Amino acid sequence: MAASDLDPIAAIATAPGRGGIGVVRISGQDLRALARTLLGRAPTPRHAHFLPFNDAQGAAIDEGIALFFDAPRSYTGEDVLELQGHGGPAVLRRLLARCLEAGREQGLRLAEPGEFTRRAFLNERLDLAQAEAVADLIEASSEAAARGAIASLSGKFSGEINALAERIIQLRLLVEATLDFPEEEIDFLEKYQARGTLAGITATLDTLLAQTRQGAILREGLHVVLAGRPNVGKSSLLNALAGEDVAIVTDIAGTTRDKVVQQIHLDGVPLHIVDTAGLRETADTVERLGISRSWAEIEKADVILHLRDAREPDVALDAEIAARRHPRTPVLAVLNKADLLAEWPQDLPQDTLAVSARNGQGLDALRTTLLGLAGWTPGGESPWLARARHVRALELAREHLTVAEQHAAQDDRVLDLFAEELRLAHEALGEITGQFSSDDMLGRIFSSFCIGK
């Protein structure tokens, strides 16, 4: 814990702008004296006090409710004072300035982004996965994401991780006890059924990893890029998927000069749909800039929808898109304007769909395919929200267990290597909850929070 983690901190805890209520929050080691200075009396913990909030000269800044939470029974694990007044920016700024003035001798300072939740983590009120869920709940853009975030905040995800880690620990204890007493002539792997125990742990991790991948998709969504020649219906498809006219549609080729981004939700999963400028050779300077941005979007896409006119399915761009995309980014060929054909296309390749952005035919199949490309199972909502770093940690743990299985397939001569892989798998799981974490990682995580949380 750094010295700055012991400073008392203060911030406006409500979102910027005007509102009926605004909250100034203070957290520190011993705030009773500061609370008495600000309120004019000693607060009773966990009681609501309705009173004026005065400046240093006794003039009223506002009036509202003061709540005092004594350590360790607070959000941060420290003393916490919350002043709940009216939500005007000027009033809240004055109230915060008064708090900083009154707490100057104690070293009271402005809180950094996420610092209240960081202290809750450092004081073991929350583990790291729960702390991240606080920010995820605030940022949730769908009901499914909000349900997943509250499940993570309640400790459901952490409980699964800790239960799995405990099983690895128990196996580690047996292995290391055997290594400590090499004179005991026993076949450890056979006597303690280590191979079967490891197989059970691995099966549980695989299930947990699948659920966590679902949770990561639910949180982070999918970056879907609409690419293709001019006038193949990219903007029309964007409007059809969004259910509103968010992009201009005309018969003039090259209407879209810059990217248009729209977020939609499919089965609770956020999709960030990007309509791009048509890909072609052009002497128009503005259009060339738009096309350059189109290629930039293609390079960072999670999924590329390569739109073609079903009447003239030009495949000339296939090789160039394949060369510019990330090697693991899937490309789905979409034959738009299929309603203008004499017959709807049949027996299409697996990576090709026919749609009509105009009448909506084929869009349900496209939505289902998009979710499948994301790795999302319709109706298979994750029991918690997760982040990409959680998935990476679980994948790393899985890799170590795979190597441990390879050692277990031999005999007790490689028992020390078996034990080492178990240790590394355990540490990978500990990164999720913060049991094994660096200050740099904590800094990156909490700096992404809003100020006051």
Tell me the pLDDT tens digit for each residue of 305-344.
999 888 887 777 888 888 888 888 888 889 999 999 988 9
Residue numbers in the chain where pLDDT is lower than 70: 1-3, 180-192, 244-259, 377-381, 411-412
Q: What is the pLDDT of residue 298?
A: 87
pLDDT the model gives residue 71: 95
Long-range own/partner contacts, residues 153-157 (CB < 8 A, 24 or more apart): 155/127, 155/130, 156/383, 156/384, 157/129, 157/133, 157/212, 157/215, 157/383, 157/384, 157/385, 157/386, 157/390
CATH architecture of the region 222-374: 3-Layer(aba) Sandwich (3.40)
Residue pair 8/109 in contact by the 8 Å Cβ criterion? yes
Binding site as annotated, residues for K(+): 231, 250, 252, 255
CA distance 274 to 79: 47
Closest by CA to 148, choosing from 419, 380, 389, is 380
Q: How would you class 309 by CB atoms within 10 Å of its CB: exposed for 0-12, middle for 13-18, buried for 19 or more? A: middle
User: What ranges do the domains of the chain cover?
Assistant: 3-125, 139-217+385-447, 222-374
Distance (Å, whole) CA 250 – CA 268: 31
pLDDT at 250: 47
pTM for this entry? 0.79
DSSP 248: -
Q: What is the pLDDT of residue 427?
A: 95
Closest by Cα among 414, 371, 406, 173 to 269? 371
Q: Cα(384)–Cα(374) distance, rounded to whole angstroms?
A: 17
- The continuous run of DSSP H or E covering 79 comes out as strand 79-87
Residues annotated within the binding site for Mg(2+) are: 235, 256
Contacts 24+ apart (CB under 8 A), 51-59: 53/83, 53/85, 53/95, 53/98, 54/98, 55/94, 55/98, 56/98, 56/101, 56/102
pLDDT, residue 300, reads: 87
The reported pLDDT for the residue numbered 167 is 95
Residue 215 in tokens? 């949770």
Question: What single-letter amino acid sits at 431?
Answer: E
Which residues are part of a known binding site for GTP? 231-236, 250-256, 275-278, 336-339, 356-358
Beta carbons of 386 and 157 less than 8 angstroms apart: yes
Give the pLDDT score at 350: 87
Q: What is the pLDDT of residue 379?
A: 60
How many Å apart are CA 236 and CA 223, to the nearest integer?
18
**pLDDT of the residue at 395:** 96
Query: Does the domain formed by 3-125 have CATH 3.40.50.450?
Result: no
Using CA atoms of 246, 250, 254, 258 in order, give the dihedral in degrees to the nearest 10: -10
SS3 446: helix
Q: Which residues contact 391 (CB under 8 A, 6 or more apart)?
A: 209, 212, 213, 216
The 10 Å Cβ neighbour count of residue 233 is: 24
> Which of 353, 334, 324, 327 shows the shortest CA–CA distance to 275?
334
Contact between residue 172 and residue 426 where contact means Cβ atoms under 8 Å apart: yes
CB contact set of 153 (below 8 Å; sequence gap of 6+): 130, 133, 134, 137
Give the amino acid at 54: N
- Architecture of the domain spanning 139-217+385-447: Up-down Bundle (1.20)
Using CA atoms, how far residue 271 sits from 263, 278, 371, 423, in Å, is 6, 21, 9, 38
Integer Cα distance of 268 and 277 in angstroms: 28
Residue stretches of the annotated binding site: 25, 82, 125, 231-236, 250-256, 275-278, 336-339, 356-358, 453
